[in-house]
Amino acid sequence: MALYLKAAEILEKAERKQGALKTLVYDSKFANIKQLFALVCETHKFSSVLQEIIDSTKLLKHTKMRMQLAKVLVYDLLMGQGIKCGGSWKAVMMKHRSRLQAELARIKIKQKVSRNEDLLPASVQRDAGDKLPRYVRVNTLKTTVEDAVDYLKRDGFSYLGQASRLDDLTLKEKQFVGDLHLPELLVFSPKTDFHNHFLYKAGHIILQDKASCLPAFLLNPSPGSHVIDACAAPGNKTSHLAALMKNKGKLFAFDLDAKRLATMSTLLLRAGVTCHKLAHQDFLTVDPDSPQYKEVENILLDPSCSGSGMVCLRDHASNQEEDQARLASLASFQLRCLNHSLSFPRLKRLVYSTCSIHSQENEEVITACLKQNPKFRLVHALAQWPERGLEPLTQCLRASTSKTRTHGFFVALLEKHSESGDTMQGTAVHMSPDVAPQSLTVSETRPAASEEESEAPETEDKQTAAAGQSDRKNCRSLLLLQLRPRSWRQHVPGAHSETVRRPDICRVLNGMWQVSGAHGDVDEPRAVDAMQAYVDAGLTTFDMADIYGPAEEIFGQFQSKLKSASSGDAVPALQGLTKYVPRPGPMDRKVVEKALQCSMTRMQVDIVDCLQFHWWDYTDKRYLEALGHLSDLQQEGLIRELSLTNFDTQRLEEITNRGIRISSNQVQYSVIDQRPAVKMEQFCLANNIQLLTYGTLAGGLLSERYLGKAEPKSKADLYTASHSKYKNMIDSWGGWTLFQDLLVTLETVAKRHDCSLACVATRYVLDRPAVGGVIVGCRLGVAGAGQHISDSLRSCSSDLKLTAEDLSAIEAVTQRSRDLMALIGDCGDEYRR
């Protein structure tokens, strides 16, 4: 039912002119955007027919339903895939089904047609029947046309060469050609879906209608130039401009809409665009005389418009009077934007474009603008283009499904006369007074508009840059952090605060779950030897547990090996954090003390740096008893820091309120699982408790290795306990497709900082306010540990700073995920379901 309610809500908003259908759909954050978009578009297309059926059958009166909800339900019942929900709405629709079907049949008989499609107005039928080719722009910032063609051929597509006629764009499944007008454009059969294709996800190709590629192509800014993209989001044309500029120069991009800008940020990151400067600003308020724009010679102006050229968005049942008012308001806004653009002092060329088929927004706006700006004139663009602007503005381009096999579009290229008064290439337009739009006035309000299709690609495989010596040096100063730098001991009578040294821990901790056996057999002597490399790199903190197989023993053996090898030299200080994970049962002092002694023996220590307590069942309150004893043992000098693992905020508060001082809580925290940010983090900050995080790299799934890879499903694919655990988390969070979006975004951020994707994912969590350290599973005795160490060092190096833009790109993906707090619960609840 959620699908139908959301579709109806969007249609109602569109009816109230609160936005374009596509924008409303994308802004809805609905889980299945594709499904919602299809339903909204189809219902919209058949709107007048559905209205007739609903009116004739008096469905609203019988059901008390609202019109748009009735339309989506009737559409799916009679023309779509059948009602997909259950419950009362289904029952209602089934009750009325025969009458609704009969009414549809009656309308068909009356119109002497047999197919639903034939009921549509002629203009719609033509559009719907004329399925547009799938256009793919090769992103030359990331690849070349030749490489993309080669890749696609190897991927089973058949390349038919360069098209030379429009008819060559009629292609069968799996065939493709090079476009006849635009060199970086490849053309495929209409149903080709690239949304899950590696090249798309890697940002090597951009899914962009051919007409929408014209503006940047015609502006053709040179590398190094300064360019403005005035109404830029979601950024397809910006990325095209950047590609033409080879990422050199300055590309100022403005947009009013924050959400669209967030999408744009992601899109540009994926596309590898780096020469841009995004601004959330009304372009009309940008000061043309500001020194920063003094070198701007090119502007691309693609303002909000009616969207009437977008095949699926055409409103076939619209109110003519309202439309006229809206068009006038849009045209007025477009003219203001144009006039403003032309006031930039160094401007030489401007491209104006709309995805509208209305002359009010196109030729009339240009005509009015040229009248008001006599220093500018039209350039006859792309002579070989088959569809021209309406007379007399044939210098402009128009595009349509029938003549250019694209969406409906309009493009004008304006150029300034040379300073001497000579004209630059092209012909000045001569205005006839009858063409000049008398009605164009300047409106102050922003009109409701339709926006052009936004599409979101992704990024490529890249080996991480190994951190060099300088990284390691930088990192050491940041590496150590006092686990709990505060004076709580003073509040505890009898505390051994003077004698117990507080350990400093590394910001990246070596997690030893990997030696527990859950990740394959462990060669203990090899594991012991492998610890040396971590310690040599300065990564001296190890996190283990009494239930991690031989982890504590391995730590102990390494500790003793270090001592015996020191021959009098200072032994490097290790920090050993372990966990006490008892089965629920009696928690008297003897039990707790014995468990602690066992850990100490295995770890070969006489004081445990940090003891993290876990409890499986909150209904069994003996966790409070256990913590009381642990607190006593701490006072007796056997534990430096008493901590928790996987406790939720409620219990953390309960424990703290009992006067038991807790140093840290170990929780799952990653770009994916951000539950701690909901309330845990705040409580920790207020109570001087640090979070130590695990799962930050999702058991290794958050890495380049899984970028562009098919979803791992089998046991063979998910061969460690970590893989299956975190794959489940990804499934709950939003699934593999969204996860791929995240990988691409992280990888693009990583490239910008010349580090690995894992570094970015780690740094993202390290930067959270309550996070003291991130635990990264250490691959003791496993090949590749070198890379892993350098990544850890780089993650906490001072020169790795995630920018606001990086964060907003990451958040643009994560905000599309499910609410894990609602789904799973607070930290650690996954262990107690």
Ligand X SMILES: C[S@@+](CC[C@H](N)C(=O)[O-])C[C@H]1O[C@@H](n2cnc3c(N)ncnc32)[C@H](O)[C@@H]1O
- Which positions touch ligand X (CB under 6 A)? 231-237, 254-257, 260, 282-284, 302-304, 446, 451-452, 454
87-94 — which CB contacts under 8 Å span 24+ positions? 87/1, 89/1, 89/4, 92/63, 92/65
DSSP characters over 190-259 = TT---TT-HHHHTTSEEE--HHHHHHHHHH-PPTT-EEEESS-TT-HHHHHHHHHTTT-SEEEEEES-HH
- Name the residue number minimizing CB distance to ligand X: 231
Binding-site residues for S-adenosyl-L-methionine: 231-237, 255, 282, 302
CB-side neighbour CA atoms (13 Å) of 657? 7
Return the biggest CA–CA distance within the chain: 102
Cβ within 8 Å of residue 1, ≥6 positions away: 85, 87, 89
Structure tokens at 573: 């200080």
d(CA 312, CA 321): 22
The question of whether 827 is a catalytic residue gets the answer: no
Shortest Å distance, C-beta 317 to ligand X: 23
For ligand X, the closer of residues 236 and 360 by Cβ is 236
What dihedral angle (degrees, nearest 10) is formed by the CA atoms of 766, 769, 772, 774? Answer: -30
Residue 162's nearest CA partner among 179, 146, 174, 183 is 179
Phi and psi for 451 in degrees, rounded to 5? -115, 150
For ligand X, the closer of residues 41 and 730 by Cβ is 41
Task: Reply yes or no: is the peptide bond before residue 234 cis, omega within 30 of 0.
Answer: yes
631-638 — which CB contacts under 8 Å span 24+ positions? 631/660, 631/661, 632/589, 633/592, 633/593, 633/596, 635/492, 635/494, 635/495, 635/496, 636/496, 637/496, 637/499, 637/500, 637/607, 638/596, 638/600, 638/607, 638/608
Shortest Å distance, C-beta 402 to ligand X: 22
Residue 825's nearest CA partner among 699, 679, 720 is 679
Per 3-state DSSP, the chain is made up of helix, strand and coil in percentages (nearest 5) of 45, 15, 40
Coil/strand/helix, residue 109: helix
Coil/strand/helix, residue 343: coil
* Adjacent-strand bridge partners of 488: none
For ligand X, the closer of residues 9 and 451 by Cβ is 451
Shortest Å distance, C-beta 202 to ligand X: 20
Shortest Å distance, C-beta 233 to ligand X: 4
Binding-site residues: 231-237, 255, 282, 302
The alpha-carbon radius of gyration of the chain (Å, integer) is 32
Residues 297, 349 contacting (CB under 8 angstroms): yes
Shortest Å distance, C-beta 454 to ligand X: 6
For ligand X, the closer of residues 329 and 635 by Cβ is 329
Residue 612's nearest CA partner among 577, 571, 574 is 577
Shortest Å distance, C-beta 208 to ligand X: 8
Q: Of the residues 275, 337, 355, 827, which is catalytic? A: 355
Shortest Å distance, C-beta 220 to ligand X: 16
SS (H, E, C) 753-790: HCCCHHHHHHHHHHCCCCEEEEEEECCCCCCCHHHHHH
In this structure, how many other beta carbons lie within 10 angstroms of the beta carbon of residue 676?
26
Phi and psi for 492 in degrees, rounded to 5? -105, 120
d(CA 262, CA 816): 12
For ligand X, the closer of residues 233 and 757 by Cβ is 233
Shortest Å distance, C-beta 256 to ligand X: 4
Shortest Å distance, C-beta 385 to ligand X: 19
d(CA 704, CA 700): 9
The conformation of residue 77, written as its DSSP 8-state character, comes to I
The conformation of residue 167, written as its DSSP 8-state character, comes to G
Catalytic residue positions, numbered? 355
